[in-house]
């Protein structure tokens, strides 16, 4: 293999390891600070039985490692998750936001003289 190809493979491998490490760190930190979004989704008046039921339905009662592996499996299959604030998948939120996100830079470039 040419030196450039070997270099690129090493860099890609290192990048994958770094991204995996960052995702693990951020997932664990988020889980430590905010273990379940049930209180936000159900509201402040939700009782503990409702929260426990919601956590069970959405998999937040499983061990953290199992939740992370499920999350990574979803990412590898294109499932970016669910937005409880928008009540739709993250992919749908992203698709609906692309036209606005793309027109902002275009309008900025077109306004330059």
Residue 100 confidence (pLDDT) = 67
12-42 residue pLDDT tens: 999 999 999 999 999 999 989 888 889 888 9
Specify the pTM. 0.74
Residue 60: which of 45, 87, 42 has the closest Cα? Answer: 42
48-104 residue pLDDT tens: 999 999 999 999 999 999 999 999 999 999 998 888 888 888 888 888 777 766 665
Contact 89, 81 (CB under 8 A): yes
Residue 112 confidence (pLDDT) = 53
Enumerate the domain spans of the chain.
3-80, 81-113
């Amino acid at each position: 293999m040419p030196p450039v190809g070997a270099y690129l493979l090493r860099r890609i491998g290192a990048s994958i390891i770094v991204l995996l490490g960052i995702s693990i760190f951020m997932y664990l930190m988020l889980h430590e600070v905010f273990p379940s979004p049930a209180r936000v989704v159900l509201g402040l008046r939700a009782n503990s039985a409702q929260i426990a039921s919601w956590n069970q339905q959405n998999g937040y009662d499983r061990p953290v490692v199992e939740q992370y592996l499920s999350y990574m499996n979803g990412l590898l299959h294109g499932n970016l998750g669910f937005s409880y604030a928008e009540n739709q998948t993250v992919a749908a939120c992203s698709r609906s936001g692309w036209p606005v996100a793309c027109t902002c830079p275009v309008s900025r470039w077109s306004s330059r003289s």
